[in-house]
């Protein structure tokens, strides 16, 4: 049964598939709250990185997690901001090295269980678009619509490189592609909540679609579900 009377949209997929960009646009279009759950794991990854903690060591990562404060807030424009012990780290968590840390810490079952309540609490109080890697399978298994957004590794690496460059972060295609493939393997093979489509998810491959075309596909899917629930 559903957790509440709010509408929930779950968007999962691999790194660089465009989940966050599309989810933000969808949330704005429908007047929903947007929650980037990957940013939570990135925040923990940054905390471990700053403390020189081995992100593959589950016990050490849990010790860090229990000793820090991670907050998800929204500014006046509805934009999600991440705070670590009161510090706005929204830009820093997007660095390539933190992406790897995020993938490593998110592989731990205890970490995912610890953060599960935070994610569900957000959906329990809002119409929401939530993106991540296990939203439809674990976090919100009763979501009104589940979308698995994907694209080829090469297409995703090109998009991520452009995103990094737009934010003034230097990188190159080969490095971004290598990191992308590492995260794909890590996320798909982990024992705890591996990256995979929910059985009832709609799979949307955007390899040959630009942003607007991808958005139109998602918009139509979600509009249909909202009509059915109204």
pTM of the model: 0.80
Side-chain half-sphere exposure of 148, counting CA atoms within 13 A: 14
pLDDT score for 146:
97
In terms of C-beta density within 10 A (0-12 exposed, 13-18 middle, 19 or more buried), how is residue 221 classed? middle
* Residue 47: count of CB within 10 angstroms of its CB: 24
What three-state secondary structure class fits 32? coil
- The DSSP-derived string for 168-214 is T----HHHHHHHHHHHHHHHHH-SSS-S---TTPEEEE-TT--HHHH
Q: Which residues are CB-contacts of 136 (< 8 A; sequence separation ≥ 6)?
A: 10, 12, 143, 146, 147, 148, 197, 198, 200, 201
pLDDT of residue 193: 81
Domains of the chain: 8-229 (3.40.50.300)
- What's residue 1's pLDDT? 38
Q: Tokens standing for 58?
A: 């589950």
For the chain of 230 residues, list the mean pLDDT of each consecutive stretch of 10: 74 91 92 90 97 97 96 82 96 92 92 90 90 92 96 94 88 92 88 89 95 96 87
Task: Give, in order, the Cα–Cα distances in Å from 202 to each of 9, 102, 196, 199, 205.
Answer: 12, 26, 12, 9, 10
Task: For residue 130, list its beta bridge partners.
Answer: 10, 35
* Residue 4 confidence (pLDDT): 59
């Amino acid at each position: 049964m559903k957790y509440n009377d709010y509408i929930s949209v779950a968007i999962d997929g691999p790194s660089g598939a465009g989940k966050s960009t599309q989810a933000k646009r969808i949330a704005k279009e429908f007047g929903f709250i947007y929650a980037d759950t990957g940013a939570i794991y990135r925040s923990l990854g940054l905390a471990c990185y700053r403390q020189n903690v081995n992100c593959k060591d589950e016990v050490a990562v849990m010790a860090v997690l229990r000793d820090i404060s991670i907050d998800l807030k929204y500014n006046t424009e509805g934009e999600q901001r991440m705070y670590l012990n009161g510090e706005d780290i929204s830009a820093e968590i997007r660095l390539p090295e933190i992406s790897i840390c995020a993938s490593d810490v998110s592989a731990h079952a205890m970490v995912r269980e610890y953060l599960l309540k935070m994610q569900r609490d957000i959906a329990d109080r809002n119409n929401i678009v939530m993106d991540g890697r296990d939203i439809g399978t674990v976090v919100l298994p009763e979501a009104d619509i589940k979308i698995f957004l994907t694209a080829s590794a090469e297409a995703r690496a090109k998009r991520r490189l452009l995103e990094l460059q737009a934010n003034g972060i230097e990188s190159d295609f080969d490095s971004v592609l290598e990191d992308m493939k590492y995260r794909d393997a890590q996320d798909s093979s982990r024992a705890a909540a591996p990256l995979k489509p929910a059985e009832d998810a709609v799979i949307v491959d955007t390899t040959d679609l630009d942003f607007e075309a991808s958005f139109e596909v998602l918009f139509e899917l979600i509009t249909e579900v909202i009509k059915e629930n109204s």
